[in-house]
Amino acid sequence: MAEVMLPQVVRHQYAPGPLSVYALFSRRPLTVLQVEEWVEQRHGEPPAHFPFGDASLQRANVKVE
């Protein structure tokens, strides 16, 4: 796999308006399945807490134009 910048390989078509982008940081490896299962359990609600010990969650609010 070639090393490329993320914006060169990931593209999304979002509707104009507000968008919240979340980033989960952890000192221990998490699988995609672990994170996806946790997100699915939240049903779109903001997270009150998360079961990943030392992990931290960051949110950036942006506007899609």
> Residue ranges of the domains in the chain?
14-64
* Angle at 28 (CA atoms; ends 22, 30), nearest 5 degrees: 55
Query: Above 90 in pLDDT, residue 3?
Result: no
To which H or E segment does residue 41 belong?
helix 32-42
- Specify the higher pLDDT residue, 16 or 53: 16
pLDDT digits (tens, 9 = 90+) for 7-23: 788 888 899 999 988 88
pTM over 0.85: no
- Residue 21, CB-side half-sphere exposure with 13 Å CA sphere: 8
